[in-house]
Chain A
Amino acid sequence: MPGIIKGLIVTLKHVLQIGDRPTVTVQYPYERMKLAPRFRGLHAVDEDACIGCGICDTNCPNSSIKIVKHGTRWYPEVNIGMCMFCGYCVDVCPMNAMKMTGNYELADYTRESLVYGPDKLLFKREVKQ
């Protein structure tokens, strides 16, 4: 009985929020938590820097990258359904063209829409004036 009463006291402290026991959850779709800058989410490829060398392709453990033609140049295409967000493609890129963004809401209805082609991945680095 004393043990249970001790437990009841500590749970009551939480109900009344005595002494640094605040509500901590976040109302997810309405508010979001801040991501760390290093967060490994959806990829992004620098349009100008990428040389289409395919090193990211050969080093990807899951072979989820394919080099495809986009316009006149070759760019990686990432199949998010197979990707495990290990970050190797970022590490190995000789041109530092690949990076990972904070986009983590990647659920989708079809497998096809999980393949992110260059049209969705490419970004242009802002040129410093």
Chain B
Amino acid sequence: MQTDELLINMGPVHPSTHGVLRFKLRMDGEIIKDCQLVLGYLHRGTEKLGEMKTYQQVLPYTDRLDYISAFPNNYCYVKAIEELAGIEVPLRAEYIRVLVMELNRIVNHIVSIGSLLMDLGAATMIMWGFREREKALQLFEMLCGARMTFNYIKPGGVREDLPEGFIPKLNEFLEEMEMRIKDYEQLINSNEIFLMRMNGIGVISAKDAINHGLTGPTLRGSGVNHDLRKLEPYSIYHDLDFKACSRPEGDSYARYMVRIDEMWESLHILRQVVDTMPEAKVISTSKYGVAPMTGVPSTVSTYFPRIFTPPAGEVYTRIEAPKGELGFYIASDGSTKPYRVKIRSPSFCNLTALSGMVKGLKIPDLIAAFGTMDIVLGDVDR
């Protein structure tokens, strides 16, 4: 039968493109023949801004890359600076960093799973997810005063120590979260319709996944057990007991399950961190340290290195952000501003695999596969 090709423009304003992504779809009826991604609608020039601002001033901008999970962004940038300038970080600060990053990982996966389910038409999960996310955000608010754009991890430590009552509240959250994740699993995991929509959809083989440069749960869903927390333990991860979750199938369901498993692992990590957190100062007293602020300004003025000049050189750091491998490359020429900041964002690299994955599938499959990629457009376009 002779049929005409249908060109469909999905986005940039579309309910399920998670922001301002645009798909150019060449369709044969409901079957996708070709999928082109058009990016750049949220481009804010963060990398260029990095060359214009001082090292400190760039830090808040990293919050706005992956705004669902901003702590890892903060941390990766700060880690690059620390490596560049050789700043030592007190142990307690590292513990707090890992604590907030793992908390952020849970938040990220909740949002990711929730929006996946919403794209599939089940709005309940995202509401439940946001209910728990709100609790985590309140913890973040207690900690640093902001709910999404934290600007909390600083070179040499963290901005402020844990406030009073934080640990009990965190423990409460961890306890509650366990029951909630069980609820999620009961609602979704064995739902036949969900399985029908996810199994065998958007399959990517381990080889293709590596060639595309996929990282994070998207890669681990293809059976490659690549987790930087295990491979190149940074911060205090070498002291913690956890396992990198992976699944061999490589389809959407595997990617979803990896996220659920990672939430359990994060809970496990958080418990260990809370139990073993040392009592000490949270900020380095070395040359570039940042003195802690204690809530509302005290009467003592605080020392703050307003002019921060790391030695010339370059550094690349990478960490395992919830969405995948996040890397910061910073070149310094010894002045107060970075010479170049390059961000290797996980969302962008993961997105490249999408158009190959969905060829021959249908629009609903595109939505499902795209939902399991876990993209944040702020991270894609930077």
Contacts and interface: CB of A to CB of B under 8 A. Distances in A.
A24 interface: yes
Nearest to B135: A24
A52 interface: no
B231 interface: no
Nearest to A100: B145
Given A3-B192, A7-B191, A87-B151, A38 B163 contact: yes
A27 to B, nearest CB: 15
B3 interface: no
A97 B287 CA distance: 25
A85 B150 CA distance: 9
Interface in B170-196: 176, 179, 183, 186-195
A49 to B, nearest CB: 9
Interface residues of A, number: 38
Contact of A1 (B179, B192, B297, B306): B192
Given A38-B144, A61-B53, A2 B149 contact: no
A7 B60 contact: no
A88 B188 contact: no
Nearest to A41: B145
Given A10-B186, A11-B187, A36 B301 contact: no
Contacts of A7: 186-188, 191
Given A38-B160, A39-B145, A6 B297 contact: no
Contacts, number: 104
Interface residues of B, number: 48
Given A3-B190, A4-B191, A55-B306, A11 B134 contact: no
B293 A6 contact: no
Contacts of A61: 53, 57-58, 60-61
A96 interface: yes
B297 A93 contact: yes
A4 to B, nearest CB: 6
Interface string B128-171: 00010010001001111110010100000001100100000000
B280 interface: no
Interface string A1-30: 111101101110000000010001000000
A35 interface: yes
Contacts of B304: 91-92
Nearest to B163: A38
29 contacts: A3-B190, A3-B194, A4-B191, A6-B191, A7-B186, A10-B186, A35-B141, A36-B145, A38-B141, A38-B143, A38-B144, A38-B163, A40-B144, A58-B306, A61-B53, A61-B60, A85-B146, A85-B149, A86-B60, A87-B146, A87-B159, A88-B60, A90-B293, A90-B297, A91-B159, A91-B293, A93-B297, A93-B301, A96-B299
